[in-house]
Amino acid sequence: MSVKVLFFGQLAELTGVSSLSLSTSDIPLTTHNSAGPEPADASPTLADLQASLVQSFPALKDQHYRMTLNLEFLPESAALQAGDEVALVPPYAGG
Amino acid sequence: MLDEHYLIQGPLRERWIQAQFSAFSKSWPESRPYPDVLSTEQEQSLHEVYASSHQNSGAIASFQGIIRSDLREGVSVLSIDYSAYEQLANRRFADIEAEVKKRTGLNRLRIWHSVGQVRCGECSMLVLASAAHRAELFEGLHMAVEQVKFSAPVWKCEHLSNGQHRWVEGQADPAAIKSAK
């Protein structure tokens, strides 16, 4: 099972993908508090995913966007589980 | 596949707009001139919405958002490609309808927005509203249009007469909208 990541608006063009799947085990736990060793079963967070995406798509670094987790705007400390849907959502421009 | 009734593939064409208007403002049209974009179930559900009592509506108005050519320095907009986070957009449009009705006293409010390509001069957004009086009608219609433009997860890419394209810079921070709710 993996996490589905969706890219919207100009972010899809910038990265060249509109969606991708990432296994949670492939997301490095880079942004966790380093007070001690990570527990073996620690879940990656939205911040970890973001760091991993910026590694893969450096152009994301200069972009303004927010992330949703299962259709909700959550803090970047939110933990990811297999089957989750994350979206990178740039500022809206409808109408 | 587009679910709900809020997002329509391509431009909101004249015939479709007329059909919505006719159904919204009066009884169900005899000819049922509904376009191919709606399934039988969707027609049925629209019919139920429209058939509900609206005896107290003394004012009805619509807003149609039309693509401008926006000529600047010899370059004009030929068309706009709309994209949306469909699940979130459908949820947001439903919320806007409920919120605006509650805050302004509209009797009815319906919103439709295009996804995909809409050319210059065509309609990409239709909002219909009814109320007892014009004051709450205009207030509610205005509020609904602003909310659609600034609080729905929709994006647009303009295709220009010089062959280039450009993403229209969003003016609203999605998270700020969320926290303001």
Residue-wise pLDDT tens digits, B89-137: 999 999 999 999 999 999 889 999 999 999 999 999 999 998 999 999 9
Q: How far is A74 from chain B (nearest CA, A)?
A: 9
Chain A CB within 8 Å of residue B49 CB: no
Work out the pLDDT band at B39, boundaries 50, 70, 90.
low
Q: Are strands B59-66 and B123-131 parallel, antiparallel or unpaired?
A: antiparallel
Report the alpha-carbon distance of residue B120 to residue B159 in Å, rounded: 10
Q: Who wins on pLDDT, B173 or B145?
A: B145
- Residues in A closer than 8 angstroms to B82, CB to CB, are 94
Residue B54 vs residue B6, higher pLDDT: B6
B167 Rama class: left (phi>0) / alpha (psi -120 to 50) / beta: beta
Residue contact B154–A93, C-beta within 8 A:
yes
The nearest alpha carbon in chain B to A88 belongs to B85
Q: Does B6 touch chain A (CB under 8 A)?
A: no
List B93's β-bridge partners, or say none: none
Interface check B170 vs A, CB under 8 A: yes
**Nearest CA of chain B to the CA of A41: how many Å?**
30
ipTM at complex level? 0.89
Contact B154 A10 (CB under 8 A): no
Tokens of B67: 């693509």
Contact A94 B82 (CB under 8 A): yes
Q: What global pTM score does this model have? A: 0.83
* Nearest CB neighbour to B153, from listed A13, A92, A95: A92
- Average pLDDT, integer, range B24-40: 50
**Is there a contact between A92 and B85 if contact means CB atoms under 8 Å apart?**
no
pLDDT score for A87: 98
CB contact under 8 A, B178 and A6: no
A85-89 sheet: strands from edge to edge: A19-23, A2-7, A85-89, A66-69, A72-73
**Contact flag B148-A8 (C-beta cutoff 8 Å):** no
Please report which confidence band the pLDDT of residue B83 belongs to, taking 50, 70 and 90 as the band edges: very high
Whether residue A50 has pLDDT greater than 70: yes
pLDDT tier, B149 (very low <50, low <70, confident <90, very high otherwise): very high
Q: How confident is the model at residue B36 (pLDDT cuts 50, 70, 90)?
A: very low
d(CA B113, CA B144): 12
Q: Is the predicted pLDDT of residue B77 greater than 50, yes or no?
A: yes
State the average pLDDT for chain B.
82
| % of chain B beyond a pLDDT of 70 | 74
Please report, as a single letter, which amino acid is at residue B117.
Q
CA B154 centroid distance within chain:
11
